[in-house]
Structure 1
């Protein structure tokens, strides 16, 4: 019986703690108050996907374990989006398309943040697209969010692979 239980046990993704830490960071009210990101499903997704994208870019630049954690972080994201949309009432016939679209949105952000971090695209332009979906209404709010994202990136760069994988964020 014990071996049967192991067969059906859900394995926790390697980066599950990291994913939960990024989700907690995305829930910080400062994004929605000082940053004026709309406090809606779409606005919250934009903040989460932006932080995940920056985290993923950092993991890609790490050692082998960090690169493996990058894949696990994506798996945790897919699992969470599936669960969240099921709770919202999304049915099986459209679930794959919906979650696939969210994964695509994350992938687009990862590419954009790679360019921002590498200096081939401006942080401001990527912030506007990634967080505000192309339209930042308030320059002060945009400046606040960009400063927060730059600080987050600097902290990620200064965090060891091991600490990051364990869910320790700057």
Structure 2
């Protein structure tokens, strides 16, 4: 039994690493920063990683995912913050400061995951408010139409993840949609949009 649990733990960590790489690749799409107006800073990048990671964790914790979904969700959470810990140390953050910052970021991540989950259920309007509070909390905000398009992208992420089953995630597979982005400057509140190539 212990052997089986150990094997399951190793598999969950391995697949969580693959899922985290998918989240990172999606979060590095320059359109989030260039067209959706997300600040291209350490904080802004954390917000986008937290957004996609939170959506994935929320999906893994749905009732239809069962206990194995929660195991993989926890493994993903652990992998994500181990990576952030390493990244902080690489940037020269002191050993004494890292645990305190990680604790805060963990709390932020959980809060955002809950907020986006609740907002997605409530509708696009609530989701735009959640984005304004978190992603656009500091610095200039893009147009209301751009934030709305960002909210619609998030809703499409939820829809896409709902199509994927536990067996997909346990194979280290997760699909996110291509962002739908404004075709013009993100300060201009028109309805024109195009897909990122």
Q: What TM-score, normalized by structure 2, do the two folds share?
A: 0.74
Is 108-117 or 40-49 further displaced after alignment?
108-117
Is 40-49 or 129-138 further displaced after alignment?
129-138
Match of residue 35 from structure 1: 36
Match of 1:107 among 107, 110, 117: 110
Match of 1:124 among 106, 110, 128: 128
Residue-by-residue CA offset, 1:43-98 (whole Å, 9 max, x unaligned): 11111111111111111102222111110111011101101000100121111001
- The higher relative CO (CA closer than 8 Å, separation ≥ 6) is in 1
Runs (4+) off by over 3 Å: 134-137
Inter-partner Cα distance in structure 1 for 2:137 and 2:56: 19
Inter-partner Cα distance in structure 2 for 1:32 and 1:144: 14
Structure 1 unpaired stretches of 5+: 1-10
Q: How many residues align?
A: 160
Matched, 1:160 2:165: yes
Q: State the 1:167 CA deviation.
A: 2.9
Secondary structure of the structure 1 residue equivalent to 2:40: coil
Inter-partner Cα distance in structure 2 for 1:66 and 1:103: 19
CA RMSD, 1 decimal: 1.9
Match of 1:88 among 80, 88, 91: 91
Q: What TM-score, normalized by structure 1, do the two folds share?
A: 0.85
Q: Would you say the 8 A contact 1:50–1:130 is kept in 2?
A: no
Structure 1 segment 8-87 matched on structure 2, within 5 A: 13=13, 14-61=15-62, 62-87=65-90
Inter-partner Cα distance in structure 1 for 2:75 and 2:111: 18
User: CA separation of 1:130/1:54 partners in 2, compared to 1, >3 Å: closer, same or farther?
Assistant: farther
